Chains A and B, each alone.
Chain A
Amino acid sequence: MSLVLPPSIADVEQVKSVRTPAHLDYSYTPGKAMSSFLRGLEQKKIIGQKCPQCGKVYVPPRGACPTDGVPTVEEVELPHTGTITTFCVVNVSFYGQGMEIPYVSALVLLDGSDIPLMHLMQEVPYDQVRSGMRVEAVWVPDDELKPTLESIKWFRPNGEPDMDSASMRGNA
């Protein structure tokens, strides 16, 4: 197929692309469960929720048990320690990201919870992070606590012996 162009534009360079910038503002609603979790962080607390049917503890809580489809309302305050189930070393940067690479993104199963939380690992060389490693949350200074996940700066090894990876099977 070849186009027939009128004389007025037949001999000029043709446009091949066009810029169409988009700009949309959104303000999100965290929901009841997440609001409670975020308010907890501001008080240096990690608050999960327990499913009334299966008894599993979810953190961050989403207000619903994803497998039972029922609301979760019972709150459970969790310790600040846990175990790395699995992780990856991130070596790529992209639009909008501000992290220094490489860094470790780890799935941390907090003690007393049933689902791992993805967070940053620091204070350990990236090549020494391993599944089963025991870790603890490192918080920002008290006067910088806010109702955001950034109130936990990162996790770091807490020195306890590793957990047996077989015991985490369901979550890793």
Chain B
Amino acid sequence: MRDVAIVSFAQSKHVRAQTDSNEVEMLMPVVREALDNVGIGMDRVGFTCSGSTDYLSGQAFSFVMTLDSVGPWPPISESHVEMDGAWALYEAWVKLQIGEIDVALIYAYSKSSPGNVREVLTRQLDPYFVAPLWPDTIAMAGLQTRALLDSGTATPADLAAVAATARRNALANPYALLTGDASVEDLLAQPMLADPMHVWDCPPITDGCAAVVIAADDVARELSKNPAWIRGIDHRIESQALGLRDLTTSVSTATAGSKAGVSAGGFDFAELHAPFTAQELIARNSLGLDASVPINPSGGALSANPVMAAGLIRLGEAASRISRGEGNRAIATATSGPCLQQNLVCVLEGSA
């Protein structure tokens, strides 16, 4: 495998609703910042890949107009996944592995504010048996959360601790939407939203975007003083049928983690894409991370969750922290589908 690193990361200030900007206006400064960070223009980018979904914007081909944000002229080599941007990064990483290009730009975005994201995401579910019932995202997460609590693996206090830590960590993240210093006791005292779910178990509805530049070998060293090298990256999917899965674990996370080399351990921290508190515990256990590994120093998806970009942001946050010298080895994940159906795991390492 060729050595490929994340050399630049930029994200928007995440907000509940970007009411004065459309997707292009939201994305353009972030793409520009990602390129400016490493002092390059589109002429040095060999491949561009983006992640988004038409269903959040409520427009077919929504990604077509947002391509304008990179200024694709002269024409560029470009592709798009209808997936979280972390998978766009994977596709770009594959392109760099072929060895013909050295630099790729990845971006992802979503505005959840135009529609009702809880309802919109029901359209991901089986169209014959499940989607006609419209069970929303919180309901799907509730089924998984209850299964975890019933299994005895976690208590409500464990879930509250995840939320409290995420909000506290987010205080130091200028891009985060939801921050706070409530204690576990404070959170547990709040009324339930829908038993077993509290509001704090759920991510904030978020408009936002992110962009990442990856580069290979010497080009990465030229562009960054301390590139965050991708030591392993893999992704797996499992059945969507909840009845076929043990909801208290994530087989796809474990498999992807194993393929990405997680078992070697030695992680200074992890950025886990887990939109709901129980999912962070499930992902952590599935990756075999012990209690000493800090999770989501950025605040994670529980403090800003632009759907389709939140996974890419985990990879970007982990890489930035490594490049800044705040840790040398990290694990970052992305998830998609109900109850952690599809997962990507990336192991990142600095040069230290």
Name A's B-contacting residues (CB within 8 A).
18, 20, 22, 24-35, 62-71
Contact = CB atoms under 8 A, between A and B. Distances in A.
Given A26-B57, A71-B25, 9 more contacts: A20-B128, A20-B131, A25-B115, A31-B21, A64-B24, A64-B71, A69-B69, A70-B28, A70-B32
Contacts of B127: 20
Contacts of A35: 20
SS of A interface (majority): loop
B18 A20 contact: no
Contacts of A64: 24-25, 28, 68-69, 71
B114 A29 contact: yes
Query: Which of the four size classes fits the interface of chain B?
Result: 20 to 34
Interface stretch (B89-97, B116-124, B272-280, B337-345): B116-124
A27 B57 CA distance: 9
Contacts of B29: 71
B57, B73, B111, most chain A CB atoms within 10 A: B73
Contacts of A27: 114-115
Contacts of A34: 22
A115 to B, nearest CB: 12
B77 interface: no
Nearest 7 CB-CB pairs, A to B? A69-B71, A31-B22, A26-B58, A67-B73, A66-B68, A26-B114, A63-B25
Interface in B27-45: 28-29, 31-32, 42
A87 to B, nearest CB: 23
B113 interface: yes
B73 A29 contact: no
A164 B174 CA distance: 56
B70 interface: yes
A66 B20 CA distance: 20
Nearest to A28: B114
A69 to B, nearest CB: 2
A93 B270 CA distance: 55
B132 interface: yes
Contacts of B111: 29
A55 to B, nearest CB: 15
20 contacts: A20-B132, A22-B123, A24-B58, A24-B120, A29-B18, A29-B19, A29-B20, A29-B111, A32-B20, A62-B24, A64-B69, A65-B71, A67-B72, A67-B73, A69-B31, A69-B42, A69-B68, A69-B69, A69-B71, A70-B71
